[in-house]
Amino acid sequence: MIVRNLNDKAVMETTYLAHGGAIAQMILDRRILKEIGFLAIATLEPGKKIEAHVDPMEEIYFVLRGSGEMGVDGEKHQVGPGDATWIPTGSSHSLLNNENEDLVILVVASPNW
């Protein structure tokens, strides 16, 4: 069993800028996981955006806190706490924090088998 906390050194060392706008950390990734690509957490400050991009894997964005505008293949939808967005492999997707508080999401990714 492996238990990771957001404050663990192994998580903090993975901090990076994700697609131009979010500060992200890998909670669990391919260094440990066998079937799932990764589990990450990302924070978007007000006015910041995860730029539109395409990934070679299926993803789920789950909103923990805050709200924003999720875009997938040209379709846009306002999302908030408790919302999960499925992003098919190869789909263009973006997320804009259009509110006045931080937007925090979990991202789960799985390779296209």
Domain segments of the chain as ranges: 8-40, 48-104
pLDDT digits (tens, 9 = 90+) for 53-94: 999 999 999 999 999 999 999 999 999 999 999 999 999 999
Phi, psi of 84 (to 5 degrees): -120, 130
- Tokens describing residue 72: 């997938």
- The pLDDT of residue 65 is 98
CB of 15 within 8 A of CB of 43? no
Domain spanning 48-104: which superfamily? Answer: Jelly Rolls (2.60.120.10)
List pLDDT tens digits, range 89-113.
Answer: 999 999 999 999 999 999 999 987 6
> For residues 32-43, b (16+ Cβ closer than 10 Å) or e, as one string?
eeeeebbbbbbb
Q: What is the rounded distance in angstroms from the CA atom of residue 61 to the CA atom of residue 70?
A: 9
